[in-house]
Amino acid sequence: MPRHVIRHGRVIGDIWQVLVPRPGERPEAVALPEGPLAVSLAVWKARREELLARATPVGVRLEPGDDPAAIAADLPRLALVAVHFPRFADGRGYSTAYLLRRRHGYRGELRAVGDVTRDQLFYLQRSGFDAFQLRDGADPHAALPSLRDFSVAYQAAADGRPPRFRSPLPGDPRHG
Amino acid sequence: MYRYDAIDATLVAERVAQFRDQTRRHLAGELSEDDFRPLRLQNGLYVQRHSPMLRVAIPYGQLSSAQLRKLARIARVYDRGYGHFTTRQNLQLNWPRLEQAPEILAELAEAGMHAIQTSGNCIRNVTTDHFAGIAPDEHVDPRALAEIVRQWSTFHPEFAYLPRKFKIALSGAEADRAATLVHDIGLHARRNGAGELGLRVIVGGGLGRTPVVGAVIREFLPWRDLLTYLEAILRVYNRHGRRDNAYKARIKILVKALGPEAFRDQVEAEWAPLRGGESTLTDEELARVSAHFAPPAYEPPGDDDRALACHLAADRAFARWVGRNVHPHRQPGYRAVTLSLKKTGVPPGDLTAEQMELVAGLAERFSFGELRVSHEQNLILADVRGRDLHALWQRARAAGLATPNVGLLTNVVCCPGGDFCALANAKSIPVAEAIQRRFEDLDYLHDIGELDLNISGCMNSCGHHHVGHIGILGVDKNGAEWYQVSIGGEQGLDATLGEVIGPSFAAADMPGVISRLVETYLDLRHEDERFVDTAHRVGLAPFKARVYGERREVAHA
């Protein structure tokens, strides 16, 4: 069965392969499969030219401790940045997403992968993610409503919504 | 006080719906305990020794009479008819049922309340001075800024899975009544020489296993930059705080590891691109929120001082209560009143549903229908006319809420301890009660004078024992409950951490130990010297000699 991801609020088939070297495998030597491919930061650093020369889309998968500034200059050439959540309670990836979108201006697909469940989707989306690969066994169709848990927000984040004090209610007299 | 508008009400209602669905999935077996835990925690639900515990948020301690009546109803219908006020100005219910939690949250929402982010590794309920807006020593009323921080931190998507819990306290007065130096972030609202509003920013304070007084990283942050600066601090912490060891995950450990200067440099670097951005506060927003905290319709000064003087002269018990539990007010003719929740025999901070209803009525009758929770676990009626004090006192006394002990030894600050809390190493409530009984003689208690006694049942330090003049910490030794005693701690702007006097004691010895500490102080004190001042002047030695010299045989290693 093909893997599915949620992207822009819909469930779609996943075209991407992800390459993370196993312990002991050298990033310089690991085989690069054909087709759209996202690689770990170590492989990206070791094989950047080779990957950019391919005719198929390339992406990078960041771990929680990876600094997004490390790929800032390459972002226009990346079709996917995947941010890995080894445990959903490790919230560093939310800041990674914010920085990619707001600090470094990344416009391509930003995907949360790993231990991702429907109960994190709303916050992930507000932090800048537009794609979600749920943990194994989770039903992406059942998760879709969680993207709409809240219709309003107090604060700005990375989803383009202004803070509430800069977004007057229609007809709100306090804001004239 | 702040009243919900359509956006606030929508958010809270949508939260109830979200949690209702999560609870349903959990009870149906679709959401494991591990997956459900952070969700229920961020809705205030702990699993305790006997049942879940629900911690209701009371933002910066402000309540209306209607809200307190709602809490009374919830305590009666869904719990065992009482609640417990905490050192962070919240209310804990000890016996709710998980299945009913969504119903309770829906009832809270009806009264403009919630339990959002009262637990979990997120930004917790912001706290402030319980005399905000009325204190004579206040520079800036901190409540509008506290509400602005509440809104910013509520459902902040980036900071819901921090390395550890995160607490912010805000004060605008000369004295620090909000323990700002022992919070993850402490903020002091001030005006500079030019009359501009700004904040001193303190980070990395905290109690717990590694008590630290926070470090100032900015002396004067212009108020419009408050949210962008908080965002920068939180982002640095979220990215770089330790996640490998829960005991080393608070921001204080990061600040300590980097040093306050290097930490500040990282914050400033993160802040530079945020500064002036869309989260920069506006004059309109401050004015909008401040309007919620406009002073009530005070009556012009009348015969308040004369009426009060008559009662004081005629009634010694009343005078004693006024001396301890009534506080100055910036409005002529008015006073603030502490209703003591520290009557001997009642767990400190506990209030029954009937008392809640009575207090709601007192607030309506005497204080514009509003009240506050103090971080010392008492209730405050902030705007009482001097001439009404005697009538208020009579009613409060009849309800067991007029123990004249604010600032005194029996005003024990105390966590729920091993009777309720699953984390506790030792019980704290029975120790508090035994000590209160020892010092029931009011003349003796008042002669001892100001003395903060704080009790925590474990290292998490919910009873703030590190900053008690006398601090008691419950410890576990080979499955038995023991109590470690420290002296010399102090809250406020001179926040000082107490020093442990020596080996710990069994529960039964605690009243005797406290008696000997107090006797040592009474023997050595200079005139007008508080217990803590004497302890600082003479050091630990005379106290140790008195406590251990006589009791060596029971002291435990």
B323-381 tens-digit pLDDT: 999 999 999 999 999 999 999 999 999 999 999 999 999 999 999 999 999 999 999 99
pLDDT of residue A1 exceeding 60, the answer is no
Question: Each residue of B111-134: pLDDT tens digit?
Answer: 999 999 999 999 999 999 999 999
Is the pLDDT score of B426 beyond 50?
yes
**What are B410-425's pLDDT values in tens digits?**
999 999 999 888 889 9
From B472's Cα to the closest Cα of chain A, the distance in A is: 33
Q: Where in chain B is the domain with CATH 3.30.413.10?
A: 134-291, 413-551
Calpha distance A145→A149 (Å, rounded): 7
- Residue A169: the pLDDT is 58
- Residues B93, B76: contact at Cβ < 8 Å? no
Q: Which domain holds residue A147?
A: 4-22+32-175
Contact (Cβ atoms closer than 8 angstroms) between residue A118 and residue A74: no
Task: Give the distance, in angstroms, between the CA of residue B470 and the centroid of all CA atoms in the same chain.
Answer: 18
pLDDT for A171 equals 47
Mark yes or no for CB contact A123/B160 under 8 Å: yes
Residue among A90, A116, A149, A167 with most chain B CBs within 10 A, to mutate: A149
User: How does DSSP classify residue B121?
Assistant: S
Q: Residue B67 has what pLDDT?
A: 98
Give chain B's end-to-end CA distance (angstroms, integer). 51
CB contact (8 A) between residue A149 and residue B14: yes
Residues of chain B with CATH 3.90.480.20: 304-398
What is d(CA B460, CA B169) in angstroms, rounded to the nearest whole number? 18
Best residue in B14, B32, B155 for a mutation probing chain A (most A CBs within 10 Å): B155
Check pLDDT > 70 for residue A2. Answer: no
Out of A92, A127, A169, whose CB is closest to B157?
A127
Chain pair A-B, CB pairs under 8 angstroms: 103
Across chain B, mean pLDDT equals 95
Could you tell me if residue A27 is inside a domain?
no
pLDDT at B301: 85
- Residue type for position B12: V
Question: Per-residue pLDDT tens for B310-323?
Answer: 999 999 999 999 99
Return the beta strands (E) in A41-153 as ranges.
58-62, 80-85, 109-114, 131-132
Q: What is the pLDDT of residue B210?
A: 86
For residue A71, being part of any structural domain is answered with yes
**H or E element at residue B34:** helix B33-41
* Alpha carbon distance A164, B461 (integer Å): 36
**pLDDT level of residue B494 (50, 70, 90 thresholds):** confident
Q: Mean of the pLDDT values across residues A73-101?
A: 98
pTM: 0.94
Q: How many structural domains comprise chain A?
A: 1
Sequence-ordered list of residues with C-beta below 8 angstroms from that of B63, at least 6 positions apart, any chain? B1, B71, B370, B371, B372, B373
Let me know if residue A155 belongs to a domain: yes
User: So what CATH class is B134-291?
Assistant: alpha beta
Q: Which residue of A has its CA nearest to B122?
A: A91
Per-residue pLDDT at A174 exceeds 50? no
Q: What is the pLDDT of residues B23-43, one digit of tens each?
A: 999 999 999 999 999 999 999
Residues of A in contact with B15 (CB under 8 A): 150
pLDDT score of B228 = 98
Instruction: Output DSSP code: residue B305.
Output: H
Report pLDDT for B552: 53
Q: Encode pLDDT of B452-487 as tens digits.
A: 999 999 998 999 999 999 999 999 998 899 999 999
Kindly state the average pLDDT of the residues A14-26.
94
**Assigned domain for A156 exists:** yes
- A14 Cα to chain B: minimum distance (Å): 25
Give me the CATH topology for the region B304-398: Sulfite Reductase Hemoprotein; domain 2 (3.90.480)
| ipTM of this predicted structure | 0.96
In A, which residues are within 8 Å of B10 by CB distance? Answer: 151-152
pLDDT (average), residues B130-145: 97
Contact between chains at B155 and A124 (C-beta distance less than 8 A):
no
In this prediction, residue B88 carries a pLDDT of 86
Predicted local confidence at residue A163, as pLDDT? 97
Q: Is B311 exposed, middle or buried (0-12, 13-18, 19+ CB in 10 A)?
A: middle
User: In this structure, which CATH number among 3.40.50.1370, 3.30.413.10, 3.40.50.300, 3.55.50.30 belongs to the domain B413-551?
Assistant: 3.30.413.10
| Nearest-CA distance A78 → chain B (Å) | 23
Tell me if A45 is assigned to some domain.
yes
Answer whether B532's CB lies under 8 Å from B469's CB: yes
The pLDDT, as a whole number, for residue B476 is 92
- Shortest distance, CA A77 to any CA of chain B (angstroms): 24
From B554's Cα to the closest Cα of chain A, the distance in A is: 45
Exposed/middle/buried for residue A1 (C-beta within 10 Å: 0-12, 13-18, 19+)? exposed
Q: Please report which helix (H) or strand (E) contains residue B414, including its range.
A: strand B413-414
Judge whether residue A176 has pLDDT over 50.
no
| A-proximal residues of B, 100-159, CB under 8 Å | 121, 151-159
| Cβ–Cβ gap A123/B285 under 8 Å | no
Q: Do B288 and A127 touch (CB under 8 A)?
A: no
| CA B113/CA A58 separation, integer angstroms | 48
Length of chain B, please? 557
Residue type, B84: H
Confidence (pLDDT) at B352 = 98
